[in-house]
């Protein structure tokens, strides 16, 4: 194994790794708001609204992320939707992860005993106040763990944006292999960087989980 080569190409891969982190973080951020909206729609009292949200989630979860990415990037211009590669990766990632995250959030909320909701409403709390002060604090630990798993999946899926020429970690590794002809060294180093990113995400999730459980049981 050529250690000198790995040292030489490390800065290029680190720079590309930041692109991976950036695109994943943005997709997760916007995906959270999409998921929150979908949870609200799924729990709406208007049946057509619930059906539309359920249909969207089913379509997104039933089609590969790779296909969604290609559809928006290459098919979007046909309907006037022109996105640069980075923006396309963020948008598709957000709408994709939002669908999965909404189910994780809804499941966590529904896991809280329904009797607490009824007790809260009987004490005069409104629906929103009950959700904010009673349901969410108890659902948060489970929700954080589930969203954390999805965040890790999102980081791994971000490698697929290389197909639309986003210069993230996988794309940069492929370019370096083309110029160095050393796939073992390049992919070993890029794999280590993915491991660092994923363990960093796991650390953040564990920190948030501990904070949430401490808040819940105070």
The position carrying tokens 């211009």 is: 77
Number of domains in the chain: 1
State residue 59's pLDDT score: 94
pLDDT tens across 16-64, in order?
999 999 999 999 999 999 999 998 898 888 889 999 999 999 999 999 9
Instruction: Assess contact for 141 and 212: CB atoms under 8 A.
Output: yes
State residue 87's pLDDT score: 95
pLDDT tens across 109-166, in order?
777 766 666 666 666 666 666 766 667 777 788 888 889 999 999 999 999 999 998 9
Number of CB atoms found within 10 A of residue 82's CB: 10
pTM over 0.85: yes
For the cut 80, the answer to whether the pLDDT of residue 216 exceeds it is no
Mean pLDDT of 90-110: 91
d(CA 69, CA 94): 11
Average pLDDT over the chain, rounded to whole? 88
Structure tokens at 48: 């057509």
- Start-to-end C-alpha separation, the chain: 53
Q: Domain of residue 109: give its range.
A: 3-216
- Give the residue among 204, 109, 102, 189 at the shortest CA–CA distance from 152: 204
d(CA 209, CA 67): 33
For the cut 70, the answer to whether the pLDDT of residue 187 exceeds it is yes
Query: SS3 of 108, please?
Result: helix
d(CA 45, CA 207): 36
State residue 160's pLDDT score: 93
* Backbone angles phi and psi of 126, in degrees to 5: -75, 175
Going by C-beta distance under 8 Å and a sequence separation of 6 or more, which residues neighbour residue 212?
137, 140, 141, 144
Whichever domain contains 201, its CATH number is 1.10.3720.10
């Amino acid at each position: 194994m050529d250690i000198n080569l790995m040292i030489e190409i490390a800065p290029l891969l680190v720079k590309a790794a930041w692109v991976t982190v950036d695109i994943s973080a943005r997709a997760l951020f916007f995906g959270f708001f999409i998921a929150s909206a979908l949870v609200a729609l799924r729990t709406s009292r208007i049946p057509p609204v619930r059906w539309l949200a359920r249909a969207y989630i089913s379509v997104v979860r039933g089609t590969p992320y790779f296909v969604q990415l290609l559809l928006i990037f290459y098919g979007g211009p046909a309907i006037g939707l022109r996105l640069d590669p980075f923006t396309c990766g963020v948008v598709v990632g957000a709408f994709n992860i939002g669908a999965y995250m909404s189910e994780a959030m809804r499941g966590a909320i529904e896991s809280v005993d329904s009797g607490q909701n009824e007790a809260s409403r009987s004490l005069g709390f409104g629906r929103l106040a009950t959700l904010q002060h009673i349901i969410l604090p108890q659902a948060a630990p489970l929700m954080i763990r589930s969203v954390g798993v999805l965040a890790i999946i999102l980081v791994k899926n971000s490698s697929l944006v290389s197909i639309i020429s986003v210069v993230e970690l996988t794309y940069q590794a492929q370019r370096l292999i083309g110029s160095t002809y050393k796939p073992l060294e390049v992919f070993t180093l890029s794999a280590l960087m993915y491991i660092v990113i994923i363990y960093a995400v796991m650390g953040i999730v564990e920190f948030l989980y501990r904070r949430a459980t401490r808040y819940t049981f105070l």
